[in-house]
């Protein structure tokens, strides 16, 4: 009897194992078949592009081309444009990306046919803390959340947020005094990073911060570590695996978050942010104007966890969008102004007599024409995000002569458009006055375009202009010897200078 039972158990185990083996083989065959099918799509729509393999796609090509071009992603798309024109397709793992650079096609995607391109590209390897953020929402969920967040950035709300930004820029200006006294070279990129983080700590995190005064500030330490170790496929194997096998992305992201220093810093930042939100719910401050108060419902009685998660996610996304991109944009603008002294003098002349302590400073600064030209021209030459204006096709449609299936990712190469000589005369020249005359609405896209553009674009513009107004009304900046040529980093979608070393003189 016992022998018979054991035989039956052994037989069942063997049968179960056999079923699992068949299921595994079937799953692998399905994946292989799906990969080959996906890679036939480009040929089916007669789209040019670099040769690819079903599992790797063009990832190896991208890596090799970046290795030959200083690790710059935008160089890859410059080269492919030269080879295949302004419309072509390439693969990242199994996923087809179609580049559209003609402005009429870009307008079609971002504006005219927006209903067919409502969603951003799938972000498989995404931090858990961002899953409820606006940037990751699709369809009706995006529309609902966008309608709730957009009122946080109306002109009236931005005027109210100008005071803390002005206070933080005043601290920056005071810190530059010490460098003016000793004629010492210093990296202003670091100063701008401390400034933008100081602003976000107050405006989004409701945290007391001394990022500009204390280089050992714990908030600064965790935010810096998080950004310095932000993953890209070149330095993060779990992310590379998730690009090849999107099905495994949640497991790869979880492993990376739990084992990396950036993951631990993220956990610290999220904990502090959640604590600030809970504190605000328990002790409301009706007169306070910051992102938390603007995103929380007016009546916080009985607020549910998902609402709190959504506020946490969007405040954290504000950190990601507002810290690195704004500080790098300010650094690029400073480099351009320090390199072009005549342009810097024109800006200073416009800023003469402006009272940066005035209650109306928002309206004054936002309407200065030459400052606006500097803002736009700096972001044209050095857009902080070079490859994030991407959309997923949600309905079959045609753009130009290309027939697109549902699920295809379409991409707008911002760097290429901003440097296109057929759109911009002398595209590599720094000429703020070029924005005195109108341009095609799709020719300038540092914040994207159409209904799904960057929701915080006007806040970023306000912070940028307030900072430049403060710095260049008080000081003349000159480039240090090692920064007369700019070393640009573009390992993924973000663009940044390695450093911008300057000297400071007081304006008399």
What's the mean per-residue pLDDT of the chain? 86
List the beta bridge partners of residue 298: none
- 310 three-state secondary structure: helix
Q: Residue 190's Cα: distance from chain center in Å?
A: 19
- Indicate the CATH number for domain 141-506: 1.10.630.10
Residue 236 binned pLDDT confidence (cut-offs 50, 70, 90): confident
- pLDDT at residue number 34: 55
- pLDDT at residue number 172: 94
User: Given CA atoms 109, 490, 434, 367 in this order, what sign does their dihedral have?
Assistant: positive
Range 391-407 average pLDDT: 93
Q: Supply the pTM of this predicted model.
A: 0.89
- pLDDT at residue number 367: 94
Chain segment 300-355, per-residue pLDDT in tens? 777 878 888 888 888 888 888 888 899 999 999 999 999 999 999 999 999 998 88
Number of separate helices (H) and strands (E) present in the chain: 19, 12
- pLDDT at residue number 248: 78
pLDDT at 33 over 60: no
- pLDDT at residue number 303: 81
- 108 three-state secondary structure: helix
Residue 100 binned pLDDT confidence (cut-offs 50, 70, 90): very high
Q: Are 306 and 132 in contact (CB under 8 A)?
A: yes
Q: Are 333 and 471 in contact (CB under 8 A)?
A: no
Neighbours of 298 (CB within 10 A): 7
C-alpha–C-alpha distance, residues 132 and 313, integer Å: 6
Spans of all domains in the chain: 1-44, 141-506
User: Is residue 315 annotated as involved in ligand binding?
Assistant: no
Q: Which of 74-83, 156-165, 248-257 has the lowest mean pLDDT?
A: 248-257
User: Given CA atoms 416, 420, 425, 428 in this order, what sign does their dihedral have?
Assistant: positive
- pLDDT at residue number 111: 97
Q: Give the chain's radius of gyration (CA, Å).
A: 25
Question: CA angle, 233 as apex, 227 and 238 as ends, to 5°?
Answer: 90
- pLDDT at residue number 269: 86
Residue 93 binned pLDDT confidence (cut-offs 50, 70, 90): confident
195-198, long-range: CB < 8 A, 24+ apart? 195/168, 195/169, 195/171, 195/327, 195/330, 195/467, 196/322, 196/323, 196/326, 196/327, 196/330, 196/463, 197/223, 197/323, 198/168, 198/171
């Amino acid at each position: 009897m016992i022998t018979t039972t054991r035989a039956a158990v052994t037989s069942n185990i063997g049968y179960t194992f056999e079923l699992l083996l068949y299921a595994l083989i079937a799953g692998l065959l399905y994946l292989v078949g799906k990969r080959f099918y996906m890679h036939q799509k480009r040929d089916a729509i007669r789209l040019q592009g670099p040769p690819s393999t079903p599992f790797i796609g063009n990832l190896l090509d991208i890596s090799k081309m970046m290795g030959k071009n200083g690790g710059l992603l935008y160089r890859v798309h410059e080269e492919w444009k030269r080879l295949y024109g302004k419309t072509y397709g390439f693969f990242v793992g199994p996923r087809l990306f179609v580049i559209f650079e003609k402005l009429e096609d870009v307008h079609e995607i971002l504006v005219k046919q927006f209903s067919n391109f409502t969603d951003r590209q799938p972000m498989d390897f995404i931090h858990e803390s961002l899953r409820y953020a606006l940037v990751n929402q699709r369809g009706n969920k995006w529309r609902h959340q966008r309608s709730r967040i957009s009122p946080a950035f109306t002109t009236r709300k931005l005027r109210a947020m100008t005071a803390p930004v002005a206070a933080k820029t005043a601290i920056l200006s005071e810190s530059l005094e010490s460098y003016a006294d000793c004629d010492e070279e210093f990296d202003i990129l670091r100063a701008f990073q401390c400034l933008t983080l100081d602003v976000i700590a107050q405006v989004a995190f409701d945290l007391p911060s001394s990022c500009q005064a204390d280089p050992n500030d714990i908030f600064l330490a965790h935010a810096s570590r998080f950004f310095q170790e932000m993953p890209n496929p070149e330095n993060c194997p779990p992310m590379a695996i998730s690009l090849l096998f999107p099905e495994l992305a949640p497991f790869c992201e979880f492993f990376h978050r739990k084992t990396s220093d950036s993951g631990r810093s993220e956990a610290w930042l999220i904990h502090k942010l959640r604590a600030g939100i809970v504190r605000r719910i328990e002790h409301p401050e009706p007169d306070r104007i910051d992102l938390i108060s603007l995103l929380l419902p007016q009546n916080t009685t009985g607020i549910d966890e998902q609402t709190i998660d959504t506020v946490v996610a969007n405040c954290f996304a504000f950190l990601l969008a507002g810290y690195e991109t704004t500080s790098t944009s300010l650094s690029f603008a400073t480099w351009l102004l320090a390199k072009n002294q005549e342009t810097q003098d024109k800006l200073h002349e416009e800023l003469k007599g402006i009272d940066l302590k005035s209650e109306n400073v928002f309206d004054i600064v936002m309407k200065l024409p030459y400052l606006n030209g500097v803002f736009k021209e700096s972001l044209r030459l050095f857009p902080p995000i070079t490859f994030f204006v991407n959309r997923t096709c949600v309905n079959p449609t045609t753009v130009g002569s290309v027939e697109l299936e549902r699920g295809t990712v379409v991409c707008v190469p911002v760097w290429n458009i901003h440097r296109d000589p057929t759109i911009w005369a002398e595209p590599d020249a720094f000429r703020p006055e070029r924005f005195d005359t109108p341009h095609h609405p799709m020719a300038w896209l540092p914040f994207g375009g159409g209904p799904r553009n960057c929701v915080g674009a006007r806040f970023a513009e306000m912070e940028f202009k307030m900072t430049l107004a403060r710095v260049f009304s008080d000081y003349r900046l000159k480039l240090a010897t090692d920064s007369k040529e700019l070393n640009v980093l573009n390992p993924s979608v973000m663009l940044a200078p390695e450093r911008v070393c300057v000297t400071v003189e007081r304006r008399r």
